[in-house]
Amino acid sequence: MPAPDYQGGSRSRSSSVSSTCTLGREEPPVVDLFEDEVIDLTRDDGIQLYNDPGRPRGFVHSSAGVIRHGDLIEIREIQMGNHFIDFLHVKSTSTVQGQAIIRGVPFVRTTAMRGKLPKKPNELCMFLHQQIEDGSAVREPLLVEINPRSVIRKRKLVVTNAIYPHHNPHIQPRRDARQQSAIRQSGWLVCRWKMTVLFTLRGRQTKPEEEIIERIRWDEVTEPAYRVSNDVLRNQWRGGRVKGGSWSPVSESEGVTVCLDEACEQDAGRTRRYTLFDAFSGAGGVSRGAQSAGFKVAYAVDKEATVWQTYKANFPEAKLFEMPIDEVVRVMGHVRANILHLSPPCQFFSPAHTIAAAHDDENIFALFACSELIRRVKPRLITLEETFGLTFERHQIFFRALIQQLTQFGYSVRWRVVRLCTWGSSQDRKRLILLAAGPGEELPTFPEATHSDGTDGLKPFRTVRRAIERIRPGDDLHNLETVRQFESPRVARDPSGEYLAGTITTGGGGLYYPDGTRNFTLRELASLQGFPLDYKFLGDVTSIKRQIGNAFPPNTVKVLYNHLRNWLLRQDGVAPHWEHEDAVTVEDDTSSAVHAGGIMANESIAIIADEDVEMCEMIDLT
């Protein structure tokens, strides 16, 4: 397990932007995220940034000799954001108004990656910045322009997708300081990684929106001697794959049958499922969303006894480890899953957490305990959901160490802060979402937004009204007799319920019914959190509120895992096939979901009662 890196190398630079928070709210309005990667284009760092390398032509002279297109040059230190650039891969050389210039792609030593990559001698990471325009279009990576006077020397570069230490000849023990210095200055360099920052421009500053640390792909390696197939990398890490998913009804009782026939592979999309290991499962929000997307929930682990009965009631076929992460890795034996989900306790990293609490050390330990679980399960893909406060400057040592827990095993990683309502949540809530792909696997993209304010052709946001309109008096956990009624009604934001809710927390979040007369019932809170109406919750009121508040909204998870399932099927060359495990029925809305308050279902409206509530279409029968 990597230790938190406070410096990220021999040089460090503190951020000039401080994080702020508001007491009493889990997710207040936020200052800049990803502060490490902000570049001020007005600051004189001796660099100019360009998208276009121009037409490669000629050469330029420097103290290191003739510099041409394709050379790797070591340069005098240049700073981009909080990173120090030591190398440039030359893309163009030219003379403009008598001044020779060099433009190229920057490279950073892994020892200067601020703890996100393992520190290895003479290993480099390509460092790319790509501007997002018009919402999604990504321009070519920015190039750095320098004067030839900044060149120190030319270096030999090997680009490979092989696992470290292959092709690095300098991995020998007991070298003295003089030998190590000579290797650093003149030994050949190896690049296996690239970091990409996707940004928009805010004035003259870059505003990072998404970050990626990715292994060099096999098709990016130009020299065959340094290229390794994805199948070999995958086999070295986890022992191969079963196309279409490692679970089937037959495999549970008769063992796995491997079929090499093309028609059989195509049929795998009908009979097989990808498996999920849900770590820190809680009441099962991720498990429910993944199951709805067609995954087989195989394993789960959570140490909190108050969630065990709820989880087992909803996933009786899954193996639930009722213990902490550090214990499960000692007792679980040989376990494999196609996807591992991680949702470590997030209270310590929340923007609203400003005072030390009793469980802070425990929460930090849980974050780092994931490393051994990854090593044991060896999933093809990993998903992680956390509070976006983990990206704040004060938590960067933990965030960087989390990233290195993945990259140390060769996982490619991408992360961004997602507004969950754009994936169908009824809450206007932001969460940090991370995707990782193991050796030999292609790194998935994030799903496109499915919901919006309705102006761009997407589905309208799933409002409070839409989330709770199917609830009926007498439904489980919907007791209007015992729910708290307000003596003095609260301010009604919108009695119709046509708005997005705030964040549901473990105490209910201070949310109340749209007309301001009462609290939400437990079932209403569960529906606002994206759980289907038939989802079972066991425990007392306080426990159930915590189970609901701690969950990753299942309907949001379904959007993410639908995308990941289709991604895996495409990678496996298997034709996607979908058969929903639950029948879709049509119900007649003849009873109201609520008492007074204005959210009344018209008797002439029929709603398709699928668990994925945001997919429901209202049909006017009049």
Reply yes or no on whether 346 is catalytic: yes
The phi and psi torsions of 66 (rounded to 5 degrees) equal -80, 130
Sort strands 430-437 and 381-386 into parallel, antiparallel or unpaired. antiparallel
Cβ–Cβ < 8 Å for 105, 171: no
Question: SS3 for 178?
Answer: helix
- Integer Cα distance of 340 and 163 in angstroms: 22
Cβ–Cβ < 8 Å for 82, 7: no
Cβ–Cβ < 8 Å for 87, 155: yes
- Integer Cα distance of 145 and 50 in angstroms: 7
- Integer Cα distance of 617 and 619 in angstroms: 6
Cβ–Cβ < 8 Å for 189, 121: no
What DSSP string describes 245-261?
A: -SB-TTHHHH-PPP---
Q: Name the token pair of 564.
A: 């990941």
Beta-carbon contacts of residue 212 (< 8 Å; ≥ 6 apart)? 194, 195, 196, 197, 198, 412, 413, 414, 443
- Integer Cα distance of 311 and 53 in angstroms: 55
Q: Name the token pair of 522.
A: 């437990």
Cα-trace Rg, the chain = 27
CA-CA-CA-CA torsion sign (604, 608, 613, 618): negative
Cβ–Cβ < 8 Å for 277, 379: yes
End-to-end CA distance of the chain: 63
* β partners of residue 88: 73, 106
What DSSP string describes 289-310?
A: HHHHTT-EEEEEE---HHHHHH
Of all helices (H) and strands (E), which one includes residue 397? helix 396-407
Determine the residue type at 117: L
Q: Name the token pair of 286.
A: 């991720």
- Integer Cα distance of 293 and 304 in angstroms: 26
Of all helices (H) and strands (E), which one includes residue 92? strand 83-96
Q: Name the token pair of 105.
A: 């792609």
Active-site residue (options: 21, 125, 346, 370):
346
- Integer Cα distance of 358 and 352 in angstroms: 16
Residue 417: closest CA among 33, 38, 129, 19: 33
Burial of 36: CB neighbours in 10 Å, binned 0-12, 13-18, 19+: buried
Residue 192: closest CA among 158, 243, 225: 158
Question: SS3 for 152?
Answer: strand
The phi and psi torsions of 127 (rounded to 5 degrees) equal -125, 105
> Any idea what the Cα angle at residue 208 is, between residues 202 and 211, rounded to 5°?
165
Q: Which residues are catalytic?
A: 346
